[in-house]
Amino acid sequence: ISDNKDNLTEHLNAVIERMNSSLTETTKELMDFKQSESKIHVLKIYIFEDAAIPRRKTGCPEKWIRFGSSCYFLREEYKTWDKARESCRARGADLVVINSKEENDFISKLNKQHFWIGLTDRDLEGTWKWVDGSPLTLFWASNQPDDHDGEEDCAEINFEFPGLCNDIPCRLSRPSICEKEQKLCV
């Protein structure tokens, strides 16, 4: 009888241990399921409530032309370099700064006129600087800049020689090209 009692006790303890292990595993699975269910609920709320919110997109204002990450506006009015820059700034922009060959090619195809760009050597003769302080990347026309008569301190895109620039007096009137970064729109 004592051996049977020991065998039954041992068998009963093994069954209790398996049941406890099974209960622990089932409890863990239930907790995982509840967490997943909670995540699914949050996801549903996000998806369905978010559907009512207008999507954001990048873009340029009306009448501006997009290229790369910038927006461009052709100012057809003839103004001096300073007045053209003021006009661009009033639109939250500045005179165009040409940062690459691709941008230069794009600008060159916009119109067949001479346009002001954001480049000057007014601070120090012969040291050309973009209005935003970025490094000078420019394609000058042959024998340019020449500072003819000592008064050519502003730059224009010269469409007689596509993609090339020329220095001219800032007091002359020209159309201009304004540039600003694209904004996130709602």
Q: Collect all residues with Cβ–Cβ distance below 8 Å to 67 and sequence separation of at least 6.
A: 103, 106
The pLDDT of residue 38: 47
The pLDDT of residue 184: 58
The pLDDT of residue 48: 42
**C-alpha closest to that of 99 among 118, 85, 123:** 118
Range list of H helices, the chain: 2-50, 81-90, 101-108
Q: Would you state the CATH architecture of domain 58-185? A: Roll (3.10)
Q: Collect all residues with Cβ–Cβ distance below 8 Å to 176 and sequence separation of at least 6.
A: 74, 75, 79, 84, 85, 87, 88, 95, 96, 115, 116, 117
Structural domain boundaries in the chain? 1-53, 58-185
pTM above 0.75, yes or no: no
Amino acid at 86: E
The pLDDT of residue 58: 55
- The three-state (H, E, C) secondary structure of 30-81, written as one string: HHHHHHHHHHHHHHHHHHHHHCCCCCCEEECCCCCEEECCEEEEEEEEEECH
Q: Residue holding tokens 């996130």? A: 184
Bridge partners (DSSP) of residue 70 are 67, 181
Distance in angstroms (rounded) separating the CA atoms of residues 65 and 2: 97
Neighbouring C-beta atoms of residue 161, cutoff 10 Å: 15
Q: Collect all residues with Cβ–Cβ distance below 8 Å to 56 and sequence separation of at least 6.
A: 184, 185, 186
* Tens place of pLDDT per residue across the chain (186 aa): 777 777 788 887 887 888 887 777 877 776 666 665 544 543 443 344 444 434 334 589 999 999 999 999 998 999 999 999 999 999 999 999 998 889 988 988 887 788 999 999 988 888 889 999 887 776 788 888 888 888 999 999 877 777 888 899 999 999 999 999 987 554
CA dihedral 99, 105, 107, 108 (to 10 degrees): 140
Say whether 7 sits in a helix, a strand or coil.
Answer: helix
